[in-house]
Amino acid sequence: MTTEAVRKGLLIVFEGTDGTGKSTQVHLLSHYLQDRGYPVIATREPTEGPYGKKIRSLYMHRNAYSREEELELFLADRREHVQQLLDPALAQGRIILCDRYFLSTAAYQGARGFDPEEILRRNRFAPDPDLALLFQAPLDTGLRRITSGRGEQLNDFEQKDSLNQVAAIFASIKRPYIQPIDASGSIEEVHEQVLNHVTPLLPAFSAAQV
């Protein structure tokens, strides 16, 4: 796990139920920081690694694994992510923007019957984020963005009954680094909220830092 002694970068994670606009805001913030010379890495979970690919196969065939096996896939994918990207990048002083992290695992796997706090304990190997932006919007708004906005069908993780439980678990998790974001407004309005939370973390960085 990254220690404060060697950790020079920032880890900013984007969390929330599906359709809240997280990925769009990762993209916008990444460009905002790059334009100002900050050393930015945008990443996501599940990753594109072998475990992440297995997780993505569950989007349409979630019953292919038991809930215990599914959780183990998320943990294995995150361990690889931490070892190969997150810890080295933080030690190099980079700003990491991560679309989903262990709070999502706690919420989505918690909705399958696991204790969310136990899942968080099992993720102690992963560095805590400096900031976790929790995107919140009415579920109907998020689902409409998926089906109408993106023209996609809902996958097995995006069913409304399950997402109600997921949203409730997200709201119940209390950590000092979590900041709620009202994701029901326009892309520009949400981006402004994101900047309001991120900007105070930036003065410690030099725009020339590599």
| Beta-bridge partner residues of 28 | none
Is 99 part of any domain?
Answer: yes
Decide if 49 is inside a domain: no
Written as six digits, the tokens of 97 are: 């923007």
Neighbours of 148 (CB within 10 A): 9
Residues 105 and 126: beta-carbon distance below 8 Å: no
Q: Is 76 within the bounds of a domain?
A: no
How deeply is 207 buried, as exposed, middle or buried, from its count of CB atoms within 10 A (0-12, 13-18, 19+)? exposed
Q: Most distant CA pair in the chain: distance in Å?
A: 48
In a domain, 209, yes or no: no
Q: Rounded to whole angstroms, how far apart are CA atoms 2 and 192?
A: 30
CATH number of domain containing 162: 3.40.50.300
Q: What does the pLDDT look like over 181-201, one tens digit per residue?
A: 999 999 999 999 999 999 999
CA distance 200 to 19: 27
pLDDT of residue 152: 47
Domain count, the chain: 1
Average pLDDT on 120-136 reads: 97
Residue 210 lies in a domain: no
pLDDT the model gives residue 4: 46
Q: How confident is the model at residue 141 (pLDDT cuts 50, 70, 90)?
A: low
User: For residue 195, what are the CA distances in angstroms to 61, 106, 128, 144, 192?
Assistant: 37, 26, 20, 26, 5
Report yes or no on 123 lying in a domain: yes
**Residue 148 forms part of a structural domain:** yes
In this prediction, residue 3 has a pLDDT band, given cuts at 50, 70 and 90, of: very low
> What's the CA gap between 48 and 203, in Å, rounded?
32
Question: Which string of DSSP letters, residue by residue, matches 157-174?
Answer: T--HHHHHHHHHHHHH--
CA distance 133 to 20: 11
The pLDDT tens digits for 59-74 are 666 677 788 999 999 9
**What is the sign, positive or negative, of the torsion defined by CA atoms of 203, 28, 7, 171?**
positive
- Residues of the domain holding 100: 10-43+94-201
With a threshold of 0.85, does the pTM exceed it? yes
Interhelix angle 67-81/102-110, rounded to 10 degrees, is 180
Closest CA to 36 of 203, 197, 194: 203
Mean pLDDT in residue range 79-94: 97
Does residue 168 belong to any structural domain of this protein?
Answer: yes
